[in-house]
Structure 1
């Protein structure tokens, strides 16, 4: 990088003590992609590769104070929003970002890899009404998209695209419908915008080490947007980079359950 200020991104999300998802995954992703990472922690979770055993929310006041402290001092080029635990916190985050004019990547975190609910039902409506219209891009997996819309999970490209367009109707400027939960040998992600839809395909990799893939993809998109890429270019780079991180996940052998992807697969040799 030539002399000058680094590109910086802010992640607003929960902490994963196991290091594979949440704030930890976001900061690793920012670093791996050449972006300075800052953070506002919304909750402390006790978790590892096998289970989430405790969740302790951070007070709304402290979350707001963290965001303010970062934005008051550091030029932030993109924001990624992850785990939010209540309607009041969703409102707090929206208010804290009201003057931020850069791209916002919203990852609607609802379930942990082990199946523990991370977003209460009463917060889904608040997420849809308050933050979805604020998002530059929303990055739900297929179960999350179905929950946002109150529908069954989409099966097949036509159904996925139909739900993507319905999410646009909720106010999002763009949506990435992540196909990791679908079946078949190919994993297909769709970028849906008012101008049309494009897809990115990758061979499905046989590995149990996929903890944090959603957090990692959304933060990778945010990192690329922070560096000035347009949305399609940001998704293309993030998609390819994440595929490499999943391919390399078995090399690091972390934990006894769903291990993390290898965020530094392009750095560690």
Structure 2
């Protein structure tokens, strides 16, 4: 990708011409399916007032045209396209498309989760914390946060930075590669579809204090995802043990 096609919309937060054009085309297509407001990451970054629709509109679409833009711009394969349908502030359906593999993950509330046309049956994780595999994205951790993460690493079978792409992290949880992910931010376009996908295989998405994740809340709060509630509780206790 050419240098003039990539820019920073915020420190360490890239946007490309492909992000903006993909969002425009996806938004047009979604309105043909269901003519309700579309809240895209790039348009909402330019005009934050658009985010109000997530919490106030009867229905709306959420779009992340390229989730994992830094990977995409660098030629790495870990990026996705994310779409979610929101009803009264709650995600009720989600789609995560992985362009590099051609796979699409689909979930509708109460109807199961699917990879392409195959329903996903996620095996429960190990009961022992020392056998759990997780990810904590490190890009926005300050030095004390990175030191804390190093201290935590030895308590799990594996604890890495993840894919630098929320969509890929969600697919890896339902595919059995990861058991949990601790996110430093929780923008709705990154997580709405994944929350539905994870819930449909028995997983949970909660704040570290155990409260529900709500799409309209402040996006800079942490979000702990896990493939079962028991797994979530074990990870939460281990990460914040006193």
TM range (shorter): under 0.3
TM-score, structure 2 as length reference:
0.28
Identify, as 1 or 2, the structure richer in strand.
2
Relative contact order, higher structure (CA 8 A, sep 6+): 1
